[in-house]
């Protein structure tokens, strides 16, 4: 392993903090296998993507069959896999979301959605949450506020923010009541003052992931869409991590009964392969087409990843993965809530389905982020056999993002909870909650 480390140090670009010490040579289901023979439970689903587990036999079969027929085509050409995937997704979505195109990454899909919104509305101003992550390309990066903004020059003109509706840390909490409506009203008052009259879209995640597993409140999405309508804006939902069953419904927006104008999917749709989607209405697609909409990329509507996406959507429906995520997610969340009674350091437990956030604090009164403690717990978890991930928000890097594959077993969840308990206990000296 040391030889591989030496080669990596010599030749690999560091693109976001330090690399993990463990080098993974293979993976199966929920388990990662290192070059030195260790087994690690993967509670991040790779990059929050491998919802069917690693090396899923159906996914491997889809890859093999696609590679033996047609894996790549010119962007103007269509394949059966692409057509059928569009049809399958439309069958799961409201009638207003029935036109799809397929790309490679979430950033690319969000870039496409933003361009579409600008062309459709004629505006250029894009609003996002102040703790959002939508990607690393131009427009997507301009609406990403959790990191990567310093040192790269100006963001795209017209980029604006709304306050993230974080009930745990909002300044709009009075006497224990979180007034998210006042917070949203204030946010749009500020947007209206900044706007030059060219508002195009709001883009948000229904549950902010890199922003700390922050779930938007009940009723928020409906009021947000109404504010968009008042201003002639489109509502774009980025369901990179919340789509395809993870939150206990096929798509997170289903809880609210409010459909976006444009939906973007990625990560979970490809189950670990580079696949994303932009889905919108016939009306929006028609106007954009009439105005010359252009988003040619090398891998637009590629057959091989579409074949994998088709496999994923079929598994979602056939195996009831959303219901499974809801049931197992409730069990996992309750496990963390039980640990919250044991450890003062657990300030908050939140999330839906198999997407749970656990926030560590130095004390529950001040809610000061326990960043160093998170790092120690992460290291101990890895040493004992569980891969955990921290949502790093600068000075607020204190939230564990827990998102295992939807194929995880109850036993594996219990093993993870046991290891987390052990790690947190060692890191805190087992300080019990009052």
**Catalytic residue of the set 99, 131, 180, 241:** 241
Helix ranges (H only) for 195-281 are 220-230
Catalytic site includes residue 64: no
Q: How far apart are CA 351 and CA 402, in angstroms?
A: 9
Catalytic site includes residue 238: yes
- Count CA atoms within 13 Å of residue 162 on its CB side: 29
Catalytic site includes residue 401: yes
Catalytic site includes residue 363: no
**Catalytic residue of the set 108, 111, 131, 133:** 133
**Catalytic residue of the set 125, 205, 285, 412:** 205
Strands ordered across the beta sheet of 234-238: 99-103, 276-280, 262-265, 234-238, 199-204, 125-129, 159-162
DSSP string, 191-213: HHHH--S-EEEEEE-SEETTTTS
- By the 8 A CB rule, do 215 and 241 touch? no
Catalytic site includes residue 239: no
Catalytic site includes residue 362: no
**Catalytic residue of the set 115, 131, 225, 267:** 267
Residue 45 — φ and ψ, nearest 5°?
Answer: 50, 50
3 state DSSP class of 64: helix
Which residues, 6+ apart, have CB-to-CB distance to 357 below 8 Å? 212, 213, 214, 348, 349, 350, 351, 391, 399, 400, 401, 402
**Catalytic residue of the set 42, 125, 238, 359:** 238
Both tokens of 334, joined, read 């309750």
Both tokens of 402, joined, read 């827990």
Positions annotated as catalytic residues are 133, 205, 238, 241, 267, 401
């Amino acid at each position: 392993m040391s030889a591989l480390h030496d080669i990596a140090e010599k030749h690999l670009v560091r693109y976001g903090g330090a690399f993990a010490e463990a080098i993974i040579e293979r993976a199966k289901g929920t388990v990662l296998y290192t070059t030195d023979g260790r087994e690690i439970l993967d509670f991040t689903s790779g990059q929050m993507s491998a919802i069917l587990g690693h090396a899923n036999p159906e996914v491997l079969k889809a890859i093999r069959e696609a590679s033996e027929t047609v894996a790549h085509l010119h962007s103007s050409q269509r394949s059966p896999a692409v057509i059928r995937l569009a049809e399958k997704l439309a069958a799961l979505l409201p009638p207003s979301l029935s036109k799809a195109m397929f790309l490679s990454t979430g950033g690319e899909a969000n870039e496409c959605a933003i361009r579409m919104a600008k062309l459709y509305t004629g505006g250029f101003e894009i609003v996002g949450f102040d703790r959002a992550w939508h990607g690393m390309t131009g427009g997507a990066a301009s609406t990403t506020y959790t990191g990567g903004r310093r040192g790269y020059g100006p963001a795209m003109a017209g980029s604006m923010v709304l306050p993230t509706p974080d009930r745990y840390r909002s300044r709009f909490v009075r006497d224990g009541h979180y007034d998210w409506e006042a917070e949203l009203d204030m946010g749009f008052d500020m947007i209206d003052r900044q706007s030059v009259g060219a508002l195009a879209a709001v883009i948000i995640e229904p549950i902010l992931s890199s922003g700390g597993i922050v779930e938007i409140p009940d009723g928020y999405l409906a009021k947000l869409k109404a504010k968009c309508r008042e201003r002639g804006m489109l509502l774009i939902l980025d369901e990179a991590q919340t789509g395809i069953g993870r939150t206990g419904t096929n798509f997170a927006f289903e809880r609210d009964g409010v459909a976006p104008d444009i939906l973007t999917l990625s990560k979970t749709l490809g189950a670990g392969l580079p696949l994303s989607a932009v889905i919108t209405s016939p009306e929006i697609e028609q106007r954009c087409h009439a105005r010359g909409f252009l988003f040619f990329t090398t891998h637009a509507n590629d057959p091989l990843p579409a074949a994998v996406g088709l496999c994923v959507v079929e598994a979602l429906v056939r195996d009831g993965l959303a219901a499974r995520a809801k049931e197992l997610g409730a069990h996992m969340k309750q496990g963390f809530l039980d640990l919250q009674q044991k450890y003062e350091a657990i300030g908050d437990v939140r999330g839906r389905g198999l997407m749970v956030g656990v926030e560590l604090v130095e004390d529950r009164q001040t809610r000061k982020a326990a960043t160093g403690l998170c790092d120690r717990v992460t290291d101990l978890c890895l040493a004992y056999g569980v891969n955990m991930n921290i949502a790093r928000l600068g000075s607020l890097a204190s939230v564990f993002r827990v998102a295992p594959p939807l194929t995880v077993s109850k036993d594996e969840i219990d093993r993870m909870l046991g290891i987390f308990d052990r790690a947190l206990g060692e890191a805190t000296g087992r300080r019990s909650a009052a």
